[in-house]
Amino acid sequence: MNNDYLKNQSSELLTVGMGGFFGAISRFLIAGYFAPESGTLVVNVLGSILLGILMYSSEYLGIVSPKTRMFFGIGFCGSLTTFSTFTVQTFQMQLVEAAFNILANIILTLAGIFTGRALVIYIMRRREGTGF
């Protein structure tokens, strides 16, 4: 391991960590506006829309740097959304409510990724002047 490798590695970790710092604070603030289970659903869907936009911007528009993906994708969106809080809330519910909570989170976050992707494709087509 040379110095450059270590410097690069620390810079990556710091980028991911700073994204996580702001992602966790945003989750805390946004989810705080809602009842606990709804708050978790809201941040999970919001983070999925944002990650969908980021992932497919990178794929279709090619404008996302590796550092942006680390900060925004792994750090911010990764920490804005949460699986552990979702699971502990589900664990404490009655069966029907738990099943509904699982379905709502799975279906609406998948719809979130789809929405992010659709937005990027829409922007790409507008750019190319072909309409939607």
Positions at the binding site: 78, 81
Our finding on whether 52 is near its own copies (CB under 8 A) is: yes
**Smallest distance, Å, CB 110 to its own copies?**
6
29 lines the binding site for its own copies (CB under 8 A): yes
Name which position in 114, 115, 121, 123 contacts its own copies (CB under 8 A): 114
Tell me the backbone φ, ψ of residue 62, rounded to 5 degrees. Answer: 65, 35
The answer to whether the Cα torsion of 24, 29, 32, 33 is positive or negative is negative
Per the document, the length of the chain is: 132
Cβ nearer to its own copies, comparing 106 with 126: 106
Sign of CA dihedral 74, 79, 82, 84: positive
Which of 10, 122 has the CB closer to its own copies? 10
The DSSP code for 34 is S
Judged by CB under 8 A, the stretch of 60-68, 78-86, 124-132 that binds its own copies is 78-86
Kindly state whether residue 53 participates in binding its own copies, applying the rule CB under 8 A.
no
Angle, vertex CA 95, rays to CA 92 and CA 99, nearest 5: 95
Look at residues 30, 16, 131, 132 and name the one whose alpha carbon lies nearest to residue 85. 30
Q: Which residues bind its own copies (CB under 8 A)?
A: 12-13, 16-25, 27-29, 44, 47-48, 50-52, 55, 73-75, 77-88, 90-91, 102, 105-106, 109-110, 112-114
